[in-house]
Chain A
Amino acid sequence: MTLMNEPVKRAEVKPKYCRFKKNGIKYIDYKDPDFLLKFINEQGKILPRRLTGNSWKYQNKIAQAVKRARHVAILPYLADQMK
């Protein structure tokens, strides 16, 4: 039971990384919905950092950008099937 939520082969688990740090992206544009779709789930909720692997700094910027996009109706506040 204790192993239920843990991967069996630990060596295969890739270490997470922040794609913004790795690629040198400094600014996240709220006007680009296709890019922001990667960081929200089907209901339009922002994905947590433990899933996206973003650093704290860029996760905050993602959240800011998604919220701005929602305000100007580029992204929905709530949705059933986004993807």
Chain B
Amino acid sequence: MILPLFTGLIIAICLPDYEPFPTFAPHFKTIVKPMKNYETVFILNPVLSEDQAKDTVEKFVKLLTKAKANVINVEKWGLKKMAYAIQNKSTGFYNLIEFATTDNTLINTLETEYRRDESVMRFMTIVLDKHSILYNERRRKGEFNRTKKQAPRKEAAEV
């Protein structure tokens, strides 16, 4: 049982152009890290002034650019009403950053930074798959403001 595991390793060392990821030997540690797109939403305290809110957003964008992440999109939705109260506050500054990086430890550093900052009331970071990347590209162009909402609404009447 152990033998087939090691044969892969021996062959790997002998080969000059060895690419461990993804086909040859998936149990090896990957050397080439894949580029991944992420999207992070965070809510800032409404007690802040608008300038302060802008500065905190810039702080997080800087943190990402310093770590050589490719910042694709930064959106400030402004002061929005929340669906329920967080920290006894009913509104908050919503912000969205979309970025791509190969460094998978960057999310941890970003989120610890969120936790340290007292003005961040809530945050969420998600990985984007290929469909959501396409969707976000179209969303940035503003395609969904009209088309997408109309199409399913007709069906809702039928159901």
Contact = CB atoms under 8 A, between A and B. Distances in A.
A27 B82 CA distance: 24
A31 to B, nearest CB: 8
Given A35-B152, A72-B41, A52 B159 contact: yes
Question: Which range holds the interface residue count of chain B?
Answer: 20 to 34
B122 A72 contact: yes
Contact of A29 (B94, B122, B135): B135
Contact of B126 (A26, A51, A68, A73): A68
B152 A23 contact: yes
B66 interface: no
Given A19-B155, A35-B149, A68-B126, A75 B135 contact: no
Given A19-B155, A72-B122, A73-B82, A34 B149 contact: yes
A55 B90 CA distance: 36
B13 interface: no
A71 interface: yes
A19 B122 contact: no
Interface string B24-43: 00000000000000000101
A67 to B, nearest CB: 10
Interface of A: 14, 19, 23, 26-27, 29, 31-32, 34-35, 38, 51-53, 68, 70-77, 79
